[in-house]
Structures are given as structure tokens and as C-alpha cells.
Structure 1
Amino acid sequence: MSMKHLLLVAVLALTAACSSNPKVIDESLSESELYLMAQEDLDANNYGPAIESLRALESRYPFGRFAQQAQLELIYAYYQNNEPEAAKSSADRFIRLHPQHPNVDYAYYMRGMTSFTRDAGIFERFLPLDMTRRDPGAARDSFNEFAQLVSRYPESRYAPDARLRMVYLRNLLAAYDIHVGHYYLKRDAHLAAANRGRYVVENFQQTPSVGDGLALMVEAYQRLAMGDLANTALATLRENYPEHPSLDDGEFRHHVEPAEQEAGRLRSMMAGFADKVLTPPSRQTGTQMEREMQQQYQEAVAAIPREIRTPEQEKQTRSIWSRITFGLFD
């Protein structure tokens, strides 16, 4: 670890420790004032104070008009404040309390995001670590949670991003199983290594690790003196992955761990894919207050007598049917 990285981690830790003072919220603030205060903090990326305002709003006005929106905003604020467990608990609570809410898909999406970045602590964010060698528990949880979102709400605006992350996570899980298989080979657990390679081939088709799984099977079966199984796996490897690093002019090279260039290829592939998906989620489009103000504006325009409306106002109040029929049946 370089001195630059150590200094960066130390500064960030000190900054987080110095900014942990709780925010004092006036007891006399109305629901709207608390909501506006939270929105200002969120817009300024002051997530700690925003959390305090949103929690105060929810506790003081549990049945107010901003209560449900505050619960959604709280999920986002916890996530951005590096409190994944609190964000996940808030998402679970929202799903449980409001299963038919029109924006419940956002809670499902954020629940997947909390698991997606659960292991990305302060050191992982700034130090170059190989994620394919990390414990896959969080990756499996995230994959399953994104799968729930895609299954329940396939037309959700968050579904495309969730699908992209699922591809990334599937590649990550397959690469992890390859590392485990080579660990078994190193410990002379050849049958376990062969089974792990076969598991990757059978369950992670279309991932870059399938060729590695076949090579693992060839190596393990050869060591077990299972010639027929080794030859079958080798023929499949030659047919589908002729450029695999374990092949030298079609001949299989014995190895205990993947060649360094192969490990580098896998890390490069994961890093390139991560550039597309390892980005923070955006806040839900439009706050509740903005949507209400827009609705009130539309109602106010509709209340203006037609004789004094401007052309733009008239266009806004006309229905789709009116536009299609050119106003003939108005």
C-alpha cells in the first residue's frame, strides 16, 4: 500500500469522525418545512443532516402527505451516507408497508444496490483489490434482489440498470468459483476441483469463466486418471476456446493456478465492465412536492376560461382525444 493511499484513508476517516455531530431540529417546524430542509440537504449532498430531517418528518408526521416520500428519500440518503444496512432495512420496511406504492420498484432497486456495494468499504473504494477473490455472499444477495426487481417490475425504469448489474455479478460469481477450484487443486482436492469446474460450465454459460471451468476439469480429471472425462473436457475446450491460455497449439498445459496473463485478462474484463455499472444510483425522479406543484399548476390552468387562455395554455389543457380529433368533438 502506497503512502498516498494511506494518507487518503486517514484524511477520510478523520473527516467522517469530525462530521458526526447530530443535527438539532426545531420542534416547531411544520411537515413542509422539514421536507424542504431535507431536500436542500440532499441537493447539497449533506446526507447526514438530510437523514435527521427525514427521520424527524417521519416520526412527527407519520400520516402526513410527505411521509411515504420521506421514507423513499431516507433509503437514498442512508445509501449515500455509507450506511448500507440502514438503507436496506429502510427499503425492506417500505416494501413491507407499501407493497402497492407506485414507486415501490425504487425500494427494490435500492435494496439490490445496498448489497451490490456492501463490501465496498473505505479501503475497497480507494485501493486496487481483486473483487473476484472476495467472499461472494453480498454478490449473491445483490443478484437475487435485482432478479426480484426485474421479475416483478420488468418495465421499471430501474430494470435496465439492474439487468446490467446482474450480468456483472454473474461474471463475478463465476470467476470466484474458478479461484476456489484452483485452490482445491493446490490442496490436491482433485475431485472437488473437477466438480467446481463443472459447476461453472453448467451454471454460468456465456460468462468469460466457462473456458477456465473446462480447463479446471481437464486438469483435475487428468490428476484423477479419469482419461475419458479429461479427453471430453479437453475436446470441448479446444472446440469452443481454442485461444485459451491453457492450450499451446491445441495441447493442454498443466498448471495449478491460472497463468498470470489470464488472471490479468480477467481483472481487466471485470474492471472494464465495472466502469459501466459501478456508479451511484440517482435520486428518484422528481420529489413529491415538485409533482404536487406541477399538478396544482395544471389544475390552475384548466380553471382559466377558454376565452382568455394563451395558445400554450390551451395546448396544455387539451386531452389526447381532443388533439387527435382537432377539437371537433370538444
Structure 2
Amino acid sequence: MPFRQFRAPVAACLITLALAACSSDKDEMPYVERPPEKIFDEAEANMRSENYKTAAKLFDEVERQHPYSQWATKAQLRAAYAHYEDLKYDDAILALDRFIQLHPGSPEVAYAYYLRALCYYEQITDVRRDQRMTRRSLDALAEVVRRFPDTPYARDARLKIDLTNDHLAGKEMEVGRFYLKQGQHTAAIGRFRTVVEQYQTTSHVPEALHRLVEAYLALGVVEEAKTAAAVLGHNYPGSDWYVDSYALLVDANVRPARDEKSWISKAWNSLF
């Protein structure tokens, strides 16, 4: 009787294990030994047909069957690219890290670093979300520029660094505006100063300077407000942000600072 009670559950477990084994077998490509160039060509055909998952498996098969051939090295990089095209960024990054570790002197290593940076870059989320991936992207792009400064990859990486910095500055502005609306002026000032100090070449600097004027006036720190407005007026004289800052100073019965280069230089330095 005890045996009959437990026989059904045992059978069910065996069936589950068998199904799992079948599933695993389906995911794994059957081993049929072929010349490396034949497997590689088949993988490339799948790439052209946008069957990226199959292509990646075939490129891996090249290395599995012919690990010491020149085709294996090519296949490693192509497998990473197949994962990238398939939007499997984690798999692509793992493959690229492995390629870089195994082939640091390869003529293709600059491309490997660049493709890895793209994997991070294309995962950047909007400014309302966590920016961890944005910072990883910035680090990876900077590494491309540092290691391979005279390559086309570095030229493109520099452009993407500017965009990435603009994105990070946008995150600081988003948080700063929130603090400003909540009346947390000191916290807001910290965020806007970060934009002015760390992201000077981004499109967010004019607004950051204006928001500093706004926050300083709210705290009654008039001289700091005048300083921020003077820097804004000198660097972005025709911007709407300067017009708004000037109006804020006038409304507060504060005389805007003179737009003289020597004074502006002192005002800029006083921000840091």
C-alpha cells in the first residue's frame, strides 16, 4: 500500500525530468562535425535572414568543433554581434568580455570594446529611472576613447559621451526641479550646481543657472543669485532663461550685476 501511494508522485517526477531533458536537448545544437568555414557560412546566412539566435549558436559551434582555428576567433566576435542584434545585451557583453580577455592583441579588439560600449549605451533609460546603466555606458565609451583614440570607434564614442553626459545632467535637473517644487531649496541648489560644475558642455546649463537664481532668491541669498545671473547673462545673453532670471532679480528689487568680463570671471569662479 505505501508503494501504491507514492508511485504516482514518483512517476510524475520522472516525467517532469524527462521533459526537462528533452527541452535541454532541443536548446543544444546536435554535434555534426563539419569544416569550420561551412558552419561559419551557415551562421552568416542566418545573420542575413535576421535569425540571430540560430546564428549565435552556429558561431558558437564553430568554436566548439574547431577551437584552435582562425575561424574560432572570428566566430567569437560574430556570436557577440548576433547577441547584440538579438537585443540579448547581457549575452553579448559576456561574449565580448571573453573575446577581449582571450585576444587582447587582436586587430578587432577595438571593435570589441566599442560594441560592448554600445550594449550599455542602448540600455540607457529615461531620466526618471535609475541611471546605473548610463554611468556604465559612460565608462565603457570613455575606455574606447582612452585605448583607441585615433580610431573611428573613438570618434563615435566621443559623440555618444556628449549625449550620455547630457542625459546624466538631465537626471540632475529632474531631481533639482522636484526639490525646488517641494521648497527644499538647499537640496535643489546642490543638484543645479552639479550640472554647472560637472556637465558644463551640456544643454542643461542655462536652465541650471536660472534655477540657481530662483533658489538663491527664495533663500534670500541675493549675492549668489546675482552671481548666477551674471554668469548666465554673459554666456547665454540671448536665452529665455536669462530673460527670466533678469525679471526675477528686478521683481526682487535687486540690481543685476554689471556685465563686465573681469567681474564675470570672478562671478564664475565664485560658483566653484
TM-score range, shorter chain: 0.7 to 0.9
User: Could you list the runs of 5+ residues in structure 2 that have no partner in the other structure?
Assistant: 1-25, 250-272
**1:168 correspondence with 2:163:** yes
C-alpha distance after superposition, 1:227-253 (max 9, x if no partner): 111111112122222343343493138
* 1:54 positional shift: 1.0
* Partners of 2:34 and 2:123 in 1: CA distance: 35
Aligned 8 A contact 1:25 1:53 in 2: no
Are residues 1:80 and 2:66 paired?
no
Quick one: which of 111, 115, 121 aligns to 1:110? Answer: 115
Structure 1 segment 179-198 matched on structure 2, within 5 A: 179-198=174-193
TM-score of the aligned structures, taking structure 2 as reference length: 0.76
Gaps of 5+ in 1: 1-20, 121-130, 254-330
2:56 equivalent to 1:47 = no
Instruction: List structure 1 runs of 4+ shifted beyond 4 angstroms.
Output: 21-26
Structure 1 residue 24: Cα displacement: 4.3
Higher RCO (CA < 8 A, seq sep 6+): 1
Deviations 1:115-139 (A, max 9, x none): 011247xxxxxxxxxx343432212
The two structures have a TM-score, normalised by structure 1, of 0.63
Shift of 1:22: 4.5
Match of 1:251 in 2: 247
- For the residues of structure 2 that align with 1:238 and 1:158, how far apart are their CA atoms? 37
Q: Answer whether contact 2:213 2:245 (CA < 8 A) is retained.
A: no
Provide the rounded CA distance (Å) in 2 between the counterparts of 1:179 and 1:81.
32
Change over 3 Å in CA distance of 1:144–1:91 after alignment to 2: same
- Asked if the contact 2:210–2:244 (Cα under 8 Å) also holds between the matched residues in 1, the reply is no
Deviations 1:134-167 (A, max 9, x none): 4322122111111101111112232221111111
Q: How many residues align?
A: 224
Query: What letter is aligned with 2:135?
Result: R
Structure with the largest fraction of helix: 2
Matching residue of 1:13: none
5 Å-filtered alignment, 1:1-330, equals: 22=27, 24-25=29-30, 27-119=32-124, 131-246=126-241, 247-248=243-244, 250-252=246-248
CA RMSD in angstroms, aligned pairs only: 2.1
Identity rate of aligned residues, in percent? 34
Residues 88 and 114 in structure 1, CA contact (< 8 A), matched pair in contact too = yes
